[in-house]
Every structure is written in C-alpha cells, then in structure tokens.
Amino acid sequence: MELVRDILDKQIRGRDDEKLGKVDGIVLELRDGEPPRVAYIELGSATFARRIGRRFERWAVGINRRFGIRRARYRIAFDRVTDHKLDVRVDIEARRSPAFAWEHWVRDHIIKRLPFAK
C-alpha cells in the first residue's frame, strides 16, 4: 500500500455509506527497533489547517471552540479501515461519530430553521 497515493486525501465513508470527510492526516507510531506502525487516519479542520501552517491550526481550533464543537480533529484507528480501493471505508457509523459534529451543528442551527427544510 502506498500511503500517500492510496490513503491520504481520499474520501472516507462509514459503514452506513455516509461521507465522513477526507483523510486529512495519517498518524504513524514510531517504535524502537521496529518499523513505524500505521496507527490512525485523522480528519478535522485542525488537521488540514496544520498542513498549511501552525497559525491556521490555531485558528481552526479557536473557531471550533467558539461554536461549541468539542473536537477539531478526530482519529480513526487504522485497523478499522476495511477497504481503500475507491474510497477509504471504515467500520464506523458516520452519523454517530464526532467527525459529523459540524454537519449536525449546521443542520440543527441553520438548515432546520429555514423554510421548507424537510
């Protein structure tokens, strides 16, 4: 598996087929005398903002806090990845995961308040 080509920046889908987000980061665990383990895929505004710069990461964390979103980044253990041919499929129910926090916030605070929302 080529981690950059096959995993990074790919679409993540949960077992409910919903889109969770993109693989914004890949976390490796460094171990003495052993090869680095692919530990997590990571997603969230702080993760992709960090790829631009530390200042953007701080802004992302601040904005999340301002709107009451607990986590600006979210990790999924790599052993929950079930497939990566087209999208990265994970054994998680997307709608129940913290990665969906912004989607729920926008739906509850904005979309549902607009006319003909259903």
Partner 1 sequence: MKRNYLHLELLLGREVLDANGRKVGRIEEAIARKRGGEWVVTEFLCGSFGMMERFSIHHFGSVLMHRLGATGTTSQAQRIKWDELDLSDPEHPRLKKRPS
Partner 2 sequence: MKKKDLLNVALGIITSIGGFLEVGSMATSAAAGADFRFDLLWVIVFSTLCLIFLIEMSGRLAAVSKRALADAVRERFGFVFTIIPRLLEIIVNLLVIAAEIGGVCLALKLITGIPVAVWAIPVGVVLWLVLWLGTLEWIENSTAILGLMTIAFVVAAWKLHPDPHEVLRGLIPSRAPHDSARFWFLAVSIAGSTISPYMFTFYSSGAVEEKWDEESLTANRLTAVIGMGFGCLMSIGVLVVSAMVFAPRNIHIDSYEQMAVILTPALGRWGFPLFVGSLAVCCFGAAVEIALATAYMIGQTFGWNWGENSEPTKGARFALTYTAVVVLGALIMTTGLDPMKLTMFSMALTAVILPAVVVPFLLLVNDEHYVGEHRSGWIGNTVVVVVVIVASLIAIVAIPLELAGGS
Residue 92 neighbours by CB distance under 10 Å: 21
Nearest to residue 102, comparing CAs of 78, 66, 54? 66
- For 64, other C-beta atoms within 10 Å of its C-beta total 20
Residue keyed to tokens 């912004």: 102
Single out the residue of 35, 5, 37 nearest to residue 23, CA to CA. Answer: 5
Please identify which residue in 10, 71, 75, 84 interacts with partner 2, judged by CB under 8 A: 10
Answer for which of 18, 39, 59, 98 binds partner 1 (CB under 8 A) is 39
51 binds partner 2 (CB under 8 A): yes
* Chosen residue from 15, 37, 65, 96 binding partner 1 by CB under 8 A: 37
Give the nearer residue to partner 2 in terms of CB position, either 59 or 102. 102
C-alpha atoms less than 13 angstroms from C-alpha of 88 in its C-beta half-sphere: 28
Site string for partner 1, 66-85 (x = CB under 8 A): ------------xx------
Chain contacts with partner 1 (rule: CB under 8 A): 1-5, 8, 24-31, 34-39, 42, 47, 50-51, 78-79
